[in-house]
Amino acid sequence: MSEQASSSLKPKRSLPYILSAPATLLFVTMVLVPLLLTALLALNSYSDSVGIKSTYDLHNYLAIFGDDYYLRIFWRTFWIAGLTTLICILIGTPEAYVLSRMGGRWRAFFLIVILAPLLVSVVVRAFGWSMLLSADGLINHALQAVGIAPVKMLYTSGAIVVALVHVMLPFMVIPVWTALQRLDPTVEHAALSLNASQATVLRRILLPQVAPGVLSGSLIVFGLSASAFAIPGLLGGRRLKMVATTVYDEFLGSLNWPLGASIAIVLLVANLIIMMTYNRILERRYSKTLG
């Protein structure tokens, strides 16, 4: 009986691996293999006369970290991504709180309003912002109508941040709103009935419960903002480059594929380090807050 029982347990134990095999194969084929090929390409060299040469060394990475031009691009990319994430937190968290306190019909309506921009292409939205922020755009025409001189807004860091906030805000609102759905409203009412102030309820009850949603949303927003291409390319222009536009120029402009692959790998690794560090710090604070 014991042998029969053990033999019947083997198919059950292997069943999860069999069911997950197609997804694992797809992940390896579509994600890991391209990353491995990109990492190998980054180890090659390039010359205008020969093209790509199989050298397999780290001279591309040394060229990136030894050149102030690329370091400034990385710094610009990360501070724009960080500022976009901070603004999305300051706007998206109260918006998600208000959304969670609405009635059923109004909640559904405003949820559709928040998610509706995701149905429009990022390129279309970037073109829309370029028309609004240009020298002959609607905003400058409105400023001239009230007697204010036109302001240069297009091809600036501010234009990139504004457009990124518009695109990334739903990715902050939805995780925070989901976290608020797990909060028991009676806990907040109990604290208020015990003469706790609204500030105390916000600091001791709401913020610790919202922290996982803010963490998830901020990681998504930061990662997508740091790797954004369409918005920096259309609203930043040729001079105000970010890492994604620089990779594009290296691949299709100068045809230096190894250097472009190296920049992409550095962006990926830097993103992972920043996001994992941020995640670890917030998780520790969150665990201490909840005891």
pLDDT of residue 222: 93
CA–CA separation, 173 and 102 (whole Å)? 14
pLDDT of residue 10: 57
Mean pLDDT across 225-249: 89
Output the 3-class SS for 87-115.
HHHHHHHHHHHHHHCCCHHHHHHHHHHHH
What would the two tokens of residue 173 be?
């609102």
Q: Examine the pLDDT at 33 and tell me if it is beyond 70.
A: yes
Question: Among 70-79, 136-145, 266-275, where is mean pLDDT lowest?
Answer: 136-145
SS3 of residue 48 by DSSP: coil
Mean pLDDT across 38-57: 83
Cα–Cα separations (whole angstroms), residue 120 to 14, 64, 115, 124, 175 = 43, 35, 10, 7, 21
What would the two tokens of residue 68 be?
């102030």
Residue 278 or 234, more confident: 234
Mean pLDDT across 32-45: 90
Q: Examine the pLDDT at 193 and tell me if it is beyond 80.
A: no
Beta-bridge partner residues of 52: 46
Q: Examine the pLDDT at 275 and tell me if it is beyond 90.
A: no
Mean pLDDT across 154-181: 89
CA–CA separation, 95 and 85 (whole Å)? 15
The percent of residues above 90 in pLDDT, for the chain, comes to 25
Average per-residue pLDDT in the chain?
83
Q: Binning pLDDT at 50, 70 and 90, where does residue 131 land? A: confident
Dihedral pair phi/psi, residue 257, rounded to 5°: -65, -40
pLDDT of residue 278: 79
pLDDT of residue 80: 95
What would the two tokens of residue 196 be?
């706790």
Kindly report, residue by residue over 2-23, the tens digit of the pLDDT.
555 555 555 667 777 788 888 8
Tokens 């400034």 found at: 72
Q: Examine the pLDDT at 118 and tell me if it is beyond 80.
A: yes
Q: Examine the pLDDT at 207 and tell me if it is beyond 50.
A: yes
251-260 long-range contacts, CB within 8 A, separation 24+: 255/46, 255/51, 256/46, 257/41, 257/44, 257/46, 257/52, 258/41, 258/42, 258/43, 258/44, 258/45, 258/46, 258/52, 258/60, 259/46, 259/60, 259/63, 259/64
Give the number of other Cβ atoms within 10 Å of residue 69's Cβ.
9
Q: Binning pLDDT at 50, 70 and 90, where does residue 136 land? A: confident
Kindly report, residue by residue over 72-105, the tens digit of the pLDDT.
999 999 999 999 999 999 999 888 888 887 777 7
pLDDT of residue 53: 80
pLDDT of residue 145: 84
pLDDT of residue 11: 62
Q: Examine the pLDDT at 1 and tell me if it is beyond 50.
A: no
